[in-house]
Amino acid sequence: MSSTRPATTAHIRPFEPRDLDAAVAVWAEATADRQPAVFPLADVVSALGAEHMALVAEREGTLTGAAVAHLQQDHAWILRIGVRSGARGEGVGGALLDALVDGLAARGVRRVSVLLPDGEAGAEALGAHQFTRRGGVSYHHRELSSGGSGDVLERLGGMYVTPGLFETLAGMEREKDLIERRVILPLARAEQADRHGVRPPRAIILFGPPGTGKTTFAKGVASRLRWPFVELFPSHLAVGGGQAAALREFFASIVEINEVVLFIDEVEEIAAIRDGRPVTHAVTNELLKLIPAFRERPRHLLVCATNAIHSLDAAFIRPGRFDYVLPVGPPDEAARAAIWRGYVAQITDDDVDIDRLVDATELFTPADIDFAARKAAQAAFEREVFGDGSTECSLIPGSTRAAVDDFLRAIADTRPTLTRAIVHEFETDIDAYARM
Protein backbone atom coordinates (compact mmCIF):
# COMPACT_ATOMS: atom_id res chain seq x y z
CA MET A 1 0.00 0.00 0.00
CA SER A 2 1.26 3.48 -0.74
CA SER A 3 -0.17 5.46 2.18
CA THR A 4 2.20 6.90 4.73
CA ARG A 5 1.80 5.10 8.03
CA PRO A 6 1.79 7.19 11.20
CA ALA A 7 4.31 6.20 13.80
CA THR A 8 2.85 4.13 16.61
CA THR A 9 4.27 2.11 19.44
CA ALA A 10 1.36 -0.35 19.27
CA HIS A 11 1.86 -3.86 17.94
CA ILE A 12 -0.72 -4.89 15.33
CA ARG A 13 -1.69 -8.57 15.33
CA PRO A 14 -4.64 -10.81 14.33
CA PHE A 15 -7.70 -10.88 16.58
CA GLU A 16 -7.97 -13.92 18.85
CA PRO A 17 -11.05 -15.14 20.78
CA ARG A 18 -9.43 -14.07 24.05
CA ASP A 19 -9.55 -10.45 22.77
CA LEU A 20 -13.35 -10.30 22.50
CA ASP A 21 -14.18 -8.59 25.81
CA ALA A 22 -11.43 -5.99 25.44
CA ALA A 23 -12.34 -5.31 21.78
CA VAL A 24 -16.02 -4.81 22.62
CA ALA A 25 -15.01 -2.39 25.40
CA VAL A 26 -12.85 -0.43 22.94
CA TRP A 27 -15.64 -0.22 20.36
CA ALA A 28 -18.20 0.78 22.98
CA GLU A 29 -15.92 3.51 24.36
CA ALA A 30 -15.12 4.82 20.88
CA THR A 31 -18.83 5.42 20.11
CA ALA A 32 -19.99 6.51 23.57
CA ASP A 33 -20.20 10.23 22.79
CA ARG A 34 -20.94 9.99 19.07
CA GLN A 35 -23.71 9.14 16.65
CA PRO A 36 -24.71 5.46 16.74
CA ALA A 37 -22.55 3.39 14.41
CA VAL A 38 -24.08 2.23 11.12
CA PHE A 39 -23.41 -1.42 11.93
CA PRO A 40 -24.70 -2.43 15.39
CA LEU A 41 -22.17 -3.93 17.79
CA ALA A 42 -24.05 -7.25 17.67
CA ASP A 43 -23.44 -7.45 13.91
CA VAL A 44 -19.76 -6.68 14.44
CA VAL A 45 -19.39 -9.44 17.02
CA SER A 46 -21.27 -11.88 14.75
CA ALA A 47 -18.84 -11.11 11.93
CA LEU A 48 -15.98 -12.34 14.11
CA GLY A 49 -17.36 -15.85 13.83
CA ALA A 50 -18.01 -15.70 10.10
CA GLU A 51 -15.98 -14.70 7.03
CA HIS A 52 -14.01 -11.78 8.38
CA MET A 53 -10.68 -10.19 8.98
CA ALA A 54 -10.03 -8.69 12.39
CA LEU A 55 -6.95 -7.06 13.89
CA VAL A 56 -6.09 -5.58 17.26
CA ALA A 57 -3.51 -3.09 18.44
CA GLU A 58 -1.66 -3.99 21.61
CA ARG A 59 0.78 -2.02 23.75
CA GLU A 60 2.54 -3.49 26.77
CA GLY A 61 -0.02 -6.29 26.97
CA THR A 62 -3.04 -3.95 26.83
CA LEU A 63 -5.41 -3.87 23.86
CA THR A 64 -5.56 -0.26 22.59
CA GLY A 65 -7.51 -0.65 19.36
CA ALA A 66 -9.51 -3.12 17.29
CA ALA A 67 -10.81 -3.32 13.72
CA VAL A 68 -12.95 -5.83 11.86
CA ALA A 69 -13.97 -6.16 8.21
CA HIS A 70 -16.51 -8.47 6.57
CA LEU A 71 -15.51 -10.06 3.25
CA GLN A 72 -17.87 -10.57 0.33
CA GLN A 73 -15.75 -12.14 -2.39
CA ASP A 74 -13.58 -9.27 -3.73
CA HIS A 75 -15.41 -6.58 -1.74
CA ALA A 76 -14.89 -5.91 1.97
CA TRP A 77 -16.82 -3.71 4.40
CA ILE A 78 -15.02 -2.26 7.40
CA LEU A 79 -17.56 -2.73 10.16
CA ARG A 80 -15.76 -1.07 13.03
CA ILE A 81 -12.46 0.56 13.98
CA GLY A 82 -12.00 1.75 17.54
CA VAL A 83 -9.15 3.15 19.61
CA ARG A 84 -9.03 3.62 23.38
CA SER A 85 -9.26 7.27 24.42
CA GLY A 86 -5.82 7.18 26.03
CA ALA A 87 -4.21 6.01 22.77
CA ARG A 88 -5.84 8.48 20.37
CA GLY A 89 -3.50 10.74 18.49
CA GLU A 90 -0.75 8.11 18.55
CA GLY A 91 -1.39 6.72 15.08
CA VAL A 92 -3.08 3.54 16.32
CA GLY A 93 -6.19 3.95 14.17
CA GLY A 94 -4.17 4.66 11.05
CA ALA A 95 -1.88 1.71 11.67
CA LEU A 96 -4.90 -0.56 12.13
CA LEU A 97 -6.50 0.76 8.95
CA ASP A 98 -3.37 0.28 6.84
CA ALA A 99 -2.72 -3.21 8.24
CA LEU A 100 -6.36 -4.13 7.59
CA VAL A 101 -6.19 -2.89 3.98
CA ASP A 102 -2.92 -4.77 3.40
CA GLY A 103 -4.43 -7.97 4.76
CA LEU A 104 -7.56 -7.59 2.64
CA ALA A 105 -5.47 -6.98 -0.48
CA ALA A 106 -3.56 -10.20 0.26
CA ARG A 107 -6.88 -12.05 0.27
CA GLY A 108 -7.77 -10.78 -3.19
CA VAL A 109 -10.08 -7.94 -2.12
CA ARG A 110 -10.39 -5.21 -4.76
CA ARG A 111 -12.70 -2.72 -3.00
CA VAL A 112 -12.90 -1.68 0.64
CA SER A 113 -15.95 0.29 1.78
CA VAL A 114 -16.87 2.12 4.97
CA LEU A 115 -20.20 3.61 6.08
CA LEU A 116 -20.05 6.34 8.74
CA PRO A 117 -22.80 8.29 10.50
CA ASP A 118 -23.27 11.86 9.32
CA GLY A 119 -20.66 14.15 10.82
CA GLU A 120 -18.40 11.33 11.96
CA ALA A 121 -14.87 12.61 12.49
CA GLY A 122 -13.40 9.45 10.99
CA ALA A 123 -14.24 10.66 7.49
CA GLU A 124 -11.23 13.00 7.49
CA ALA A 125 -8.94 10.18 8.59
CA LEU A 126 -10.25 7.94 5.81
CA GLY A 127 -9.46 10.64 3.26
CA ALA A 128 -5.86 10.64 4.46
CA HIS A 129 -5.71 6.91 3.70
CA GLN A 130 -6.85 7.18 0.06
CA PHE A 131 -10.56 6.52 0.67
CA THR A 132 -12.96 8.73 -1.31
CA ARG A 133 -16.47 9.75 -0.29
CA ARG A 134 -19.34 8.75 -2.58
CA GLY A 135 -22.90 10.07 -2.82
CA GLY A 136 -24.82 12.17 -0.32
CA VAL A 137 -24.17 9.88 2.60
CA SER A 138 -20.91 9.27 4.33
CA TYR A 139 -19.97 6.31 2.16
CA HIS A 140 -16.27 5.83 1.58
CA HIS A 141 -14.56 3.31 -0.63
CA ARG A 142 -11.12 2.48 -1.92
CA GLU A 143 -10.17 0.54 -5.03
CA LEU A 144 -7.18 -1.71 -4.45
CA SER A 145 -4.84 -1.90 -7.39
CA SER A 146 -4.23 -5.20 -9.12
CA GLY A 147 -0.79 -6.72 -9.12
CA GLY A 148 -0.53 -6.67 -5.34
CA SER A 149 0.26 -9.44 -2.92
CA GLY A 150 -3.19 -10.95 -3.44
CA ASP A 151 -2.35 -11.65 -7.08
CA VAL A 152 1.00 -13.12 -6.07
CA LEU A 153 -0.71 -15.37 -3.54
CA GLU A 154 -3.15 -16.62 -6.17
CA ARG A 155 -0.37 -17.16 -8.71
CA LEU A 156 1.63 -19.23 -6.20
CA GLY A 157 -1.39 -21.36 -5.35
CA GLY A 158 -1.69 -19.95 -1.84
CA MET A 159 -4.74 -20.29 0.39
CA TYR A 160 -6.16 -19.24 3.73
CA VAL A 161 -6.60 -22.29 5.94
CA THR A 162 -9.92 -22.60 7.77
CA PRO A 163 -9.60 -21.12 11.28
CA GLY A 164 -9.55 -23.71 14.06
CA LEU A 165 -7.67 -26.46 12.20
CA PHE A 166 -4.86 -26.58 14.76
CA GLU A 167 -7.31 -26.97 17.65
CA THR A 168 -9.12 -29.86 15.95
CA LEU A 169 -5.99 -32.01 15.59
CA ALA A 170 -6.83 -35.01 17.75
CA GLY A 171 -4.09 -36.61 19.84
CA MET A 172 -0.47 -35.64 19.22
CA GLU A 173 -0.66 -33.36 22.26
CA ARG A 174 3.11 -33.38 22.79
CA GLU A 175 3.73 -32.11 19.28
CA LYS A 176 0.90 -29.58 19.48
CA ASP A 177 2.16 -28.18 22.76
CA LEU A 178 5.72 -27.91 21.46
CA ILE A 179 4.69 -26.15 18.25
CA GLU A 180 2.29 -23.86 20.14
CA ARG A 181 4.98 -22.75 22.59
CA ARG A 182 8.02 -22.56 20.33
CA VAL A 183 6.47 -21.40 17.06
CA ILE A 184 2.95 -19.97 17.29
CA LEU A 185 3.04 -17.92 20.49
CA PRO A 186 6.23 -15.94 19.72
CA LEU A 187 4.79 -15.01 16.31
CA ALA A 188 1.23 -14.30 17.50
CA ARG A 189 2.41 -12.31 20.53
CA ALA A 190 5.48 -10.68 19.05
CA GLU A 191 5.41 -7.66 21.34
CA GLN A 192 5.36 -9.78 24.51
CA ALA A 193 8.06 -12.04 23.08
CA ASP A 194 10.25 -9.03 22.30
CA ARG A 195 9.82 -7.73 25.86
CA HIS A 196 11.41 -10.98 27.10
CA GLY A 197 14.12 -11.03 24.46
CA VAL A 198 12.51 -13.95 22.62
CA ARG A 199 13.17 -13.93 18.87
CA PRO A 200 10.19 -15.33 16.93
CA PRO A 201 11.17 -18.21 14.65
CA ARG A 202 11.60 -17.59 10.96
CA ALA A 203 12.22 -21.18 9.81
CA ILE A 204 11.62 -24.62 11.29
CA ILE A 205 11.97 -28.25 10.20
CA LEU A 206 9.43 -30.95 11.04
CA PHE A 207 10.78 -34.48 10.73
CA GLY A 208 9.31 -37.90 11.31
CA PRO A 209 7.94 -41.00 9.59
CA PRO A 210 5.48 -40.58 6.72
CA GLY A 211 1.83 -40.17 7.66
CA THR A 212 2.42 -38.60 11.06
CA GLY A 213 0.78 -35.29 10.13
CA LYS A 214 3.63 -32.92 9.30
CA THR A 215 1.67 -31.23 6.50
CA THR A 216 -1.38 -30.89 8.72
CA PHE A 217 0.71 -29.31 11.46
CA ALA A 218 2.13 -26.78 8.98
CA LYS A 219 -1.40 -25.87 7.84
CA GLY A 220 -2.45 -25.73 11.49
CA VAL A 221 0.22 -23.11 12.19
CA ALA A 222 -1.07 -21.00 9.28
CA SER A 223 -4.61 -21.45 10.61
CA ARG A 224 -3.65 -20.29 14.11
CA LEU A 225 -1.72 -17.27 12.80
CA ARG A 226 -4.35 -16.56 10.14
CA TRP A 227 -1.58 -16.14 7.61
CA PRO A 228 -1.87 -17.46 4.05
CA PHE A 229 -0.39 -20.89 3.37
CA VAL A 230 1.76 -21.48 0.30
CA GLU A 231 3.31 -24.82 -0.58
CA LEU A 232 6.41 -25.15 -2.73
CA PHE A 233 6.52 -28.52 -4.47
CA PRO A 234 10.15 -29.48 -5.24
CA SER A 235 8.93 -31.84 -7.95
CA HIS A 236 7.28 -28.91 -9.78
CA LEU A 237 10.50 -26.95 -10.15
CA ALA A 238 12.07 -26.92 -13.57
CA VAL A 239 14.15 -30.01 -14.25
CA GLY A 240 17.88 -30.08 -14.81
CA GLY A 241 19.90 -26.90 -14.43
CA GLY A 242 16.72 -24.79 -14.33
CA GLN A 243 15.86 -25.88 -10.79
CA ALA A 244 18.04 -23.27 -9.12
CA ALA A 245 16.65 -20.47 -11.32
CA ALA A 246 13.06 -21.61 -10.67
CA LEU A 247 13.72 -21.69 -6.94
CA ARG A 248 15.17 -18.17 -7.06
CA GLU A 249 12.15 -16.90 -8.99
CA PHE A 250 9.73 -18.49 -6.51
CA PHE A 251 11.41 -16.88 -3.50
CA ALA A 252 11.50 -13.52 -5.28
CA SER A 253 7.70 -13.74 -5.57
CA ILE A 254 7.02 -14.98 -2.03
CA VAL A 255 8.60 -11.90 -0.43
CA GLU A 256 5.92 -9.76 -2.08
CA ILE A 257 3.33 -11.30 0.27
CA ASN A 258 3.00 -9.38 3.54
CA GLU A 259 2.69 -12.48 5.75
CA VAL A 260 2.91 -16.13 4.84
CA VAL A 261 3.63 -19.66 5.99
CA LEU A 262 5.75 -21.22 3.24
CA PHE A 263 5.74 -25.01 3.36
CA ILE A 264 8.19 -27.32 1.58
CA ASP A 265 7.41 -31.01 1.97
CA GLU A 266 9.99 -33.69 1.19
CA VAL A 267 12.62 -30.96 1.31
CA GLU A 268 15.32 -33.60 0.93
CA GLU A 269 14.60 -33.43 -2.80
CA ILE A 270 16.29 -30.02 -2.95
CA ALA A 271 18.43 -30.04 0.20
CA ALA A 272 19.94 -33.50 0.34
CA ILE A 273 23.59 -34.12 1.15
CA ARG A 274 25.51 -32.70 -1.81
CA ASP A 275 26.95 -35.59 -3.76
CA GLY A 276 29.14 -33.64 -6.16
CA ARG A 277 26.71 -33.72 -9.08
CA PRO A 278 26.49 -30.17 -10.57
CA VAL A 279 22.66 -30.04 -10.59
CA THR A 280 22.28 -31.27 -6.98
CA HIS A 281 25.04 -28.96 -5.82
CA ALA A 282 23.54 -25.92 -7.58
CA VAL A 283 19.98 -26.24 -6.26
CA THR A 284 21.09 -26.91 -2.68
CA ASN A 285 23.49 -23.97 -2.80
CA GLU A 286 20.72 -21.75 -4.13
CA LEU A 287 18.37 -22.72 -1.32
CA LEU A 288 21.10 -22.07 1.24
CA LYS A 289 21.48 -18.54 -0.15
CA LEU A 290 17.73 -17.83 -0.28
CA ILE A 291 16.83 -18.76 3.30
CA PRO A 292 18.73 -15.88 5.01
CA ALA A 293 16.92 -13.31 2.85
CA PHE A 294 13.58 -14.96 3.61
CA ARG A 295 14.35 -14.82 7.34
CA GLU A 296 14.61 -11.03 7.20
CA ARG A 297 10.83 -10.76 6.72
CA PRO A 298 9.23 -10.46 10.19
CA ARG A 299 5.88 -12.06 9.29
CA HIS A 300 7.22 -14.89 7.14
CA LEU A 301 7.69 -18.45 8.39
CA LEU A 302 9.37 -21.26 6.46
CA VAL A 303 8.28 -24.77 7.44
CA CYS A 304 10.19 -27.65 5.87
CA ALA A 305 9.20 -31.28 6.35
CA THR A 306 11.14 -34.46 5.77
CA ASN A 307 10.79 -38.18 6.42
CA ALA A 308 14.58 -38.54 6.47
CA ILE A 309 16.28 -35.82 8.49
CA HIS A 310 19.58 -37.71 8.29
CA SER A 311 19.61 -37.27 4.51
CA LEU A 312 19.66 -33.45 4.65
CA ASP A 313 22.83 -31.47 4.01
CA ALA A 314 24.50 -30.51 7.29
CA ALA A 315 24.84 -26.87 6.20
CA PHE A 316 21.11 -26.75 5.53
CA ILE A 317 19.91 -27.70 9.02
CA ARG A 318 22.46 -25.79 11.08
CA PRO A 319 21.37 -23.12 13.62
CA GLY A 320 21.04 -19.72 11.97
CA ARG A 321 19.06 -21.11 9.08
CA PHE A 322 16.50 -23.06 11.11
CA ASP A 323 15.46 -22.03 14.60
CA TYR A 324 13.98 -25.40 15.56
CA VAL A 325 14.16 -28.97 14.28
CA LEU A 326 11.06 -30.59 15.72
CA PRO A 327 10.12 -34.29 15.73
CA VAL A 328 6.60 -35.30 14.72
CA GLY A 329 6.43 -38.94 15.67
CA PRO A 330 3.94 -41.79 15.62
CA PRO A 331 1.03 -41.46 18.05
CA ASP A 332 1.44 -43.11 21.43
CA GLU A 333 -1.44 -44.92 23.16
CA ALA A 334 -3.02 -41.73 24.51
CA ALA A 335 -2.81 -40.08 21.10
CA ARG A 336 -4.26 -43.11 19.30
CA ALA A 337 -7.12 -43.21 21.83
CA ALA A 338 -7.89 -39.53 21.20
CA ILE A 339 -7.79 -40.03 17.42
CA TRP A 340 -10.01 -43.10 17.58
CA ARG A 341 -12.55 -41.39 19.86
CA GLY A 342 -12.94 -38.65 17.29
CA TYR A 343 -13.60 -41.07 14.44
CA VAL A 344 -15.87 -43.39 16.44
CA ALA A 345 -18.03 -40.45 17.51
CA GLN A 346 -18.51 -39.50 13.84
CA ILE A 347 -19.15 -42.99 12.54
CA THR A 348 -21.31 -44.83 15.07
CA ASP A 349 -23.56 -44.53 18.09
CA ASP A 350 -22.40 -47.91 19.42
CA ASP A 351 -20.35 -48.18 22.59
CA VAL A 352 -17.07 -49.17 20.94
CA ASP A 353 -14.22 -50.42 23.11
CA ILE A 354 -11.56 -47.82 22.28
CA ASP A 355 -8.84 -49.75 24.14
CA ARG A 356 -9.22 -52.68 21.72
CA LEU A 357 -8.74 -50.33 18.77
CA VAL A 358 -5.69 -48.72 20.40
CA ASP A 359 -4.06 -52.10 21.10
CA ALA A 360 -4.70 -53.24 17.52
CA THR A 361 -3.08 -50.16 15.94
CA GLU A 362 0.29 -49.99 17.68
CA LEU A 363 2.27 -49.19 14.51
CA PHE A 364 -0.42 -47.06 12.87
CA THR A 365 0.11 -43.43 11.93
CA PRO A 366 -2.78 -40.93 12.08
CA ALA A 367 -3.16 -41.42 8.33
CA ASP A 368 -3.42 -45.20 8.80
CA ILE A 369 -6.10 -44.74 11.47
CA ASP A 370 -8.01 -42.40 9.17
CA PHE A 371 -7.94 -45.05 6.42
CA ALA A 372 -9.11 -47.82 8.76
CA ALA A 373 -11.92 -45.64 10.13
CA ARG A 374 -13.12 -44.88 6.61
CA LYS A 375 -13.09 -48.59 5.77
CA ALA A 376 -15.25 -49.30 8.84
CA ALA A 377 -17.70 -46.58 7.86
CA GLN A 378 -17.81 -47.91 4.29
CA ALA A 379 -18.55 -51.41 5.60
CA ALA A 380 -21.54 -50.17 7.60
CA PHE A 381 -22.76 -48.13 4.64
CA GLU A 382 -22.60 -51.11 2.28
CA ARG A 383 -24.31 -53.31 4.84
CA GLU A 384 -27.26 -50.92 4.90
CA VAL A 385 -27.36 -50.65 1.10
CA PHE A 386 -26.95 -54.40 0.51
CA GLY A 387 -28.94 -55.56 3.53
CA ASP A 388 -29.79 -58.87 1.85
CA GLY A 389 -26.52 -60.48 2.89
CA SER A 390 -24.96 -60.20 -0.55
CA THR A 391 -21.76 -58.70 0.86
CA GLU A 392 -19.19 -59.81 3.37
CA CYS A 393 -20.09 -56.72 5.40
CA SER A 394 -23.44 -58.26 6.35
CA LEU A 395 -21.90 -60.73 8.79
CA ILE A 396 -23.06 -58.65 11.76
CA PRO A 397 -26.79 -59.42 11.98
CA GLY A 398 -29.13 -56.55 12.75
CA SER A 399 -26.34 -53.96 12.66
CA THR A 400 -26.62 -50.81 10.58
CA ARG A 401 -24.01 -48.31 11.77
CA ALA A 402 -20.43 -49.46 12.36
CA ALA A 403 -19.73 -51.81 15.26
CA VAL A 404 -16.48 -52.80 16.92
CA ASP A 405 -16.07 -55.78 14.58
CA ASP A 406 -16.22 -53.43 11.59
CA PHE A 407 -13.38 -51.40 13.06
CA LEU A 408 -11.28 -54.47 13.92
CA ARG A 409 -11.81 -55.99 10.49
CA ALA A 410 -10.83 -52.69 8.85
CA ILE A 411 -7.71 -52.52 11.01
CA ALA A 412 -6.74 -56.06 10.04
CA ASP A 413 -7.11 -55.12 6.36
CA THR A 414 -4.92 -52.02 6.70
CA ARG A 415 -1.17 -52.29 6.21
CA PRO A 416 0.52 -50.02 8.79
CA THR A 417 3.00 -47.48 7.51
CA LEU A 418 5.39 -47.99 10.40
CA THR A 419 7.70 -50.85 11.29
CA ARG A 420 9.72 -51.24 14.45
CA ALA A 421 12.84 -50.46 12.42
CA ILE A 422 11.33 -47.14 11.26
CA VAL A 423 10.35 -46.23 14.81
CA HIS A 424 13.86 -47.07 16.05
CA GLU A 425 15.44 -44.94 13.30
CA PHE A 426 13.14 -42.03 14.22
CA GLU A 427 14.11 -42.27 17.89
CA THR A 428 17.78 -42.30 16.89
CA ASP A 429 17.22 -39.21 14.70
CA ILE A 430 15.66 -37.36 17.65
CA ASP A 431 18.86 -37.85 19.65
CA ALA A 432 21.04 -36.80 16.73
CA TYR A 433 19.12 -33.94 15.10
CA ALA A 434 16.24 -32.55 17.19
CA ARG A 435 16.53 -28.92 18.32
CA MET A 436 13.63 -28.02 20.59
Regarding beta strands 52-59 and 62-72, do their DSSP bridges make them parallel or antiparallel, or are they unpaired?
A: antiparallel
Regarding beta strands 324-327 and 203-207, do their DSSP bridges make them parallel or antiparallel, or are they unpaired?
A: parallel
Regarding beta strands 111-115 and 75-83, do their DSSP bridges make them parallel or antiparallel, or are they unpaired?
A: parallel
- pTM comes to 0.68
Please provide the distance, in angstroms rounded to a whole number, between the alpha carbons at the two ends of the chain: 37
- Return the pLDDT at 6: 45
CA 61, 62, 68: angle at the middle one, nearest 5?
115
- Return the pLDDT at 393: 43
| 3-state SS assignment for residue 207 | strand
CA distance 416 to 405: 18
- What are the average pLDDT values for consecutive 10-residue runs of the chain, which has 436 residues? 50 85 82 64 68 82 87 80 80 85 80 72 67 60 56 81 79 88 91 89 95 92 89 76 82 87 91 64 85 90 94 88 94 91 87 92 93 93 73 49 90 94 94 93
Q: What crossing angle do the helices spanning 366-385 and 404-412 adopt, rounded to 10°?
A: 120
CA distance 15 to 54: 5
**Which domains, ranges and CATH numbers included, belong to the chain?**
11-146 (3.40.630.30), 153-330 (3.40.50.300), 333-417 (1.10.8.60)
CA distance 69 to 80: 7
Regarding beta strands 300-306 and 203-207, do their DSSP bridges make them parallel or antiparallel, or are they unpaired?
A: parallel
What type of residue sits at position 68?
V
CA–CA distance from 270 to each of 91, 287, 306, 355 (Å)? 45, 8, 11, 42
Alpha helices in 140-299 (DSSP H): 149-155, 165-168, 173-179, 185-188, 190-195, 214-225, 242-254, 268-271, 278-295
- Return the pLDDT at 241: 57
| 3-state SS assignment for residue 125 | helix
